[in-house]
Amino acid sequence: MAPPPILALALPSETGRVLSIQSHTVQGYVGNKSAVFPLQLLGYDVDPINSVHFSNHTGYPTFKGQVLNGDQLWELIEGLEANNLLFYTHLLTGYIGSVSFLNTVLKVVDKLRSINPGLTYVCDPVLGDEGKLYVPRELVSVYREKVLPVASMLTPNQFEAELLTGLRIVSEQDGREACNTLHSAGPSKVVITSINLDGDLLLLGSHHKDKGQPPAQFRISIPKIPAYFTGTGDLTTALLLGWSNKYPDNLGKAAELSVSSLQALLVRTINDYTRAGHDCRSSSLEIRLIQSQDNIRNPEIKYRAEMYD
């Protein structure tokens, strides 16, 4: 008797099939726990590979668990390939803690594109934030020299964009120039997810649609919330993947939807912690992802992209 078809391949969703290589926690929402559910809500089939499997995120006093190495990642890819399961429309990557694992991810990109040359690779280059590196410094050069040339969309924060371009970002024009530098290295879509300029918070996006033409660039003003949340970067990149695929020629629209979803979720998180009697400024907060699914599926656009001339 012939085995039944894999319906995700035989009858693919209109949106796509995503391989997401990120961290995983049993409790809480970071990495794949923050990215898979929103993408599924937006209609994507998502296959997660967990680069780490921890009890909770590392901001807690202690954590336990296991770390996947490059050989183990490749073994999973070989298992998928042996069963003809390796067709994906998108690859999504987040936190990667070692050069060896990142080099294996690059092998995965090559393998996936040998099967689907049109694969979109969305990369969140998690390196650090606010002047502090989270990873070994040698990862920066690997991202610069090997990852940028194969990435389709890049979603760094301000510090990461500075690391990858060697430019200081102290103005909006600096941010736009950083996007241009990143475009020249590879990705046609760049979203600097947060830029802090004199106390104002911005998202800055850039889509280089045609060679020889300047990129379409925009800004979105974001309200500052006096609290620290975990998993928001992973969620933001997942939302940008989801919406930019639905609006492939309108990155500004995709960013409006993503920011509006995220801000509604953060407001709900703050309100719920406050109702529980917690001082939201005293510690990092776990996001209220499940409770915000309507805001993810059908966000009300409250934050608008302002195009640059």
Question: For the purposes of burial, counting CB atoms within 10 Å of the CB of 308, is it exposed (0-12), middle (13-18) or buried (19 or more)?
Answer: middle
- Write down the catalytic residue from 129, 234, 249, 279: 234
Separation between Cα atoms, residue 297 and residue 37, nearest integer Å: 11
Q: Give yes or no: 198 in active site.
A: no
Interstrand relation of 216-222 and 229-230 (parallel, antiparallel or unpaired): unpaired
Separation between Cα atoms, residue 187 and residue 193, nearest integer Å: 15
Residue 120: its H or E element: strand 120-123
Number of CB atoms found within 10 A of residue 252's CB: 19
End-to-end CA distance of the chain: 62
SS3 206: strand
Separation between Cα atoms, residue 205 and residue 195, nearest integer Å: 11
Q: Annotated catalytic sites, by residue?
A: 234
